Amino acid sequence: MNDTTSASATSHDNSNTQAVSAPVAKKIPHEMSIHNDTRIDDYYWMRDDSRTDPEIIAHLNAENSYTDAVMAHTTALQQTLFDELKGRIVKDDNTVPVKQGSYYYSSEVSGDNEYPISVRATDFSGTDKQVLLDLNQLASEHDYYDVSSVSISLNENLLAYGEDTVSRRIYTIKIKDLTTGQYLADEITGTSGSVAWQNDNQAFYYIHKDPQTLLGYQVYRHRLGTPQADDQLIFEETDQTFYTSIGKSKDNSLVYIWHSSTETSAVSFIDANDANAQAVSFLDREVGLEYSISKLDDWFYIHTNYEAVNFRLMKVATTDIANKDHWQDVIPAQEGAMLEDYEIFNDYLVYQQRENGLTRITVRDLHTQQQQQLHFNDEAFTLYLYGNKEIDSDKLRLYYSSMTTPGTHYDFNLNDGSNVVLKQAQILGDFDANNYRSERIMIPARDGKSVPVSLVYRKDCFKKDGTNPLYQYGYGSYGAIIDPSFSSTRLSLLDRGFVYAIAHIRGSEMLGRPWYEDGKKLTKQNTFNDFIDVTRSLVEQGYGAKDKIFAVGGSAGGLLMGAIINQAPELYCGVAAHVPFVDIVTTMLDESIPLTTNEYDEWGNPNHKEYYDYMLSYSPYDNIAAHDYPHLLVTTGLHDSQVQYFEPMKWVAKLRDVKTNDNRLLFKVDMEAGHGGASGRFKALHEDALEYAFFIDLLAEQKLI
């Protein structure tokens, strides 16, 4: 390939600076035919799986240079925003210790360090603290650094973790002897990073990834001191629509192998006390049946959708696991209330449900069957269980937050119902929760369904007269719920008069499993309609000014952004699309691209004409048209393992060629990062500062603030 960036176009999308040239990519028509339909992709050549093609790297660098040039006049604003964001963060901080075995585990950050230090102690207060890992030292020689979950052997002397220095989510497992502080010679490459120890402390289980598709599909047992080539294959997933993961039961007796696809899940288990154990299936897989399990004495508790759209909890004796006829109801299916999570203790069952979009947690005494429900006061909030590692415990760990309440950690006493606040996130500066207000409203979509919307704004900056700028966020895929929670970075927008809205659109499970089912595959258009209808209604109700609307989404939320700017571009002043999944048809037809086959139950399989036609009707890349588009900021990471860099790269090139106005189209590529963006707690704030400056500058340029 030659002359990638030889062409240039003069951009006049920034009246505050001299005109600069936007990179214009060459076109090499590439035909793709299926179902008697032919598409021409002029930018297919941009794909380079090795990420080494000099021409492609040069083009990405040119995009970065163009973005830097267009945004150069905002350098001071970006620095101001960065300083604000960083200034609210406590430099010396720690997580709330979690009890597991003989120790309390936590992590600490200090000063300007980008990464935490993992520690443990024998008491909650940490009087005899032991440093396990200093990620700042480990990351010092790398532009990107990430550690997977840490796993401790049963004798508590060995620590295993996965290390990723590329951001492709392929980890090398390393083992540290906590008695000597030295590393073992064992290093296991090409893994998911997860480790489950055998109970003799001499071996562990891990998942090997396919280097092309990045699917974890093989479970191996590694015996310490032996080469990886000698590791024993315990399980191999032959169905590429399934993800594989591992974990361990609370009583440490079993290693779980989780098999999960979008619409079907299953579990196998391994006896952690048997050095030669093989995997045993809990129940043969059934298409459409989803379940997960927890073990308590001679019973398995089963969280399942078996004859329950919104899931229920059942149990079965360990001797009868393979027969669903023996499963007994513990928490029956409830219409309108989705069973989201649960925790089993020796004496208590705790379960989390969601009804009308709001979470509730109930505690049941397993001996008396008496129940009590936990109550919170905010109109909309985030509430979940975490860190409950011990099966013989009378304390329940909870996390709570709302859009005006910083994250708060509780220990709830299961015996007497008392609460202890362990910690609330400290927000530095002049933050006062009383200055802000959160609302939860329901907005009718065009088909009559009501869409929940969470809102937050600064009281003295909000008039509800249609003059405020509005920042609207959405996702709407995979059933993922974006609960309303606190964000200190968001304050920089609220204090400048922005109203912040989360549209809980279809494709999530905010209103239960049917809300998800009504926003995927052949109903995906509902996701986009909901977001657009929420925008229109918020403007009509005076929450935002019609010429000050900004929309943001990432990954599958980036697909949402791509769809709305094709379908309703006139509604939005500016849009930020982060790591956007925008070339859905081409990607889903290519099984060599990581994670494609796992996504068929989410989007549909375009090898079937019905799905091909439907996906083609909304695919952002395929539906770019010659009309005006909002101002756009697009970001990606060169090493993204979820949405490959070439999707947004192609999208930007085609948009730049086809769109009919001179609105800004900026493409920022992190040449070291992947799907999650920059590593490090402060470095990532530069990305937020860039996005905020992009929006604020648009308002200033148009004299709207």
In this structure, the answer to whether residues 195 and 329 fall within a common structural domain is: yes
Per-residue pLDDT tens over the stretch 472-485? 999 999 999 999 99
The DSSP string of 370-416 is: -EEEE----SSEEEEE-----SS-SEEEEEEEESSS--EEEEEETTT
pLDDT at residue number 1:
35
> Is there a domain that residue 14 lies in?
no
Which residue, of 282, 317, 335, is where some domain finishes?
Answer: 335
pLDDT band at 378 (very low <50, low <70, confident <90, very high): confident
Per-residue pLDDT tens over the stretch 578-619? 999 999 999 999 988 766 777 899 999 999 999 999 999 999
In this structure, the answer to whether residues 118 and 202 fall within a common structural domain is: yes
Average pLDDT over residues 184-194: 96
Q: Order of strands across the sheet with 499-503?
A: 436-444, 450-458, 499-503, 470-473, 549-554, 574-578, 631-637, 665-670
Cα 43 to chain centroid, rounded: 28
Average pLDDT over residues 126-146: 92
In this structure, the answer to whether residues 444 and 528 fall within a common structural domain is: yes
pLDDT at residue number 6:
34
pLDDT band at 678 (very low <50, low <70, confident <90, very high): low
Average pLDDT over residues 275-286: 96
Catalytic site residues? 555, 640, 675
Structural domain boundaries enclosing 578: 51-87+565-583+619-704
pLDDT at residue number 692:
98
In this structure, the answer to whether residues 403 and 442 fall within a common structural domain is: no
On the question of pLDDT at 56 being above 60, the answer is yes
The answer to whether 416 touches 398, Cβ cutoff 8 Å, is no
What phi and psi, each to the nearest 5 degrees, are found at residue 503? -90, 115
Distance, CA of 439 to CA of 502 (rounded, Å):
11
Tokens of 640: 């993204």
In this structure, the answer to whether residues 468 and 442 fall within a common structural domain is: yes
Per-residue pLDDT tens over the stretch 567-581? 999 999 999 999 999
- Secondary structure class of 470 (helix, strand, coil): strand
Instruction: Identify the sign of the CA torsion 607, 531, 473, 374.
Output: negative
Query: What does the mean pLDDT of the chain come to?
Result: 93
In this structure, the answer to whether residues 123 and 251 fall within a common structural domain is: yes
> Is there a domain that residue 389 lies in?
yes
pLDDT band at 55 (very low <50, low <70, confident <90, very high): very high
The percentage of the chain sitting over the pLDDT mark of 70, rounded to a whole number, equals 95
Average pLDDT over residues 362-383: 92
The CA dihedral of 604, 303, 294, 385, to the nearest 10 degrees, is 90
On the question of pLDDT at 14 being above 80, the answer is no
pLDDT at residue number 377:
78
Average pLDDT over residues 320-335: 93
Tell me, what CATH number does 576's domain have?
A: 3.40.50.1820
Distance, CA of 425 to CA of 530 (rounded, Å):
33
In this structure, the answer to whether residues 191 and 111 fall within a common structural domain is: yes
> Is there a domain that residue 571 lies in?
yes
Distance, CA of 400 to CA of 89 (rounded, Å):
19
pLDDT at residue number 12:
37
Average pLDDT over residues 350-360: 95
Alpha helices in 88-216 (DSSP H): 135-139
pLDDT at residue number 212:
82
Tokens of 494: 């609220």
In this structure, the answer to whether residues 325 and 341 fall within a common structural domain is: no
pLDDT at residue number 598:
79
pLDDT at residue number 674:
58
Q: Which of 20-24, 133-137, 626-630 has the highest mean pLDDT?
A: 626-630
Tell me how many domains the chain contains. 4
Average pLDDT over residues 521-542: 98
Residue with tokens 């992009």, as numbered in its chain: 694
On the question of pLDDT at 275 being above 60, the answer is yes
> Is there a domain that residue 253 lies in?
yes
Tell me, what CATH number does 132's domain have?
A: 2.130.10.120
Q: Which residues, including other chains, have CB under 8 Å from residue 297's CB and lie 6 or more apart?
A: none
Which residue, of 335, 368, 384, is where some domain finishes?
Answer: 335
In this structure, the answer to whether residues 327 and 342 fall within a common structural domain is: no
pLDDT band at 673 (very low <50, low <70, confident <90, very high): low
Distance, CA of 695 to CA of 630 (rounded, Å):
11
Query: Is this model's pTM higher than 0.75 or not?
Result: yes
Eight-class DSSP state of 49: T
The percentage of the chain sitting over the pLDDT mark of 90, rounded to a whole number, equals 86
In this structure, the answer to whether residues 389 and 451 fall within a common structural domain is: no
pLDDT at residue number 207:
97
In this structure, the answer to whether residues 523 and 667 fall within a common structural domain is: no
Average pLDDT over residues 183-201: 97
Cα 521 to chain centroid, rounded: 20
pLDDT at residue number 8:
39
Residue 277 carries which side chain, given as an amino acid letter? A
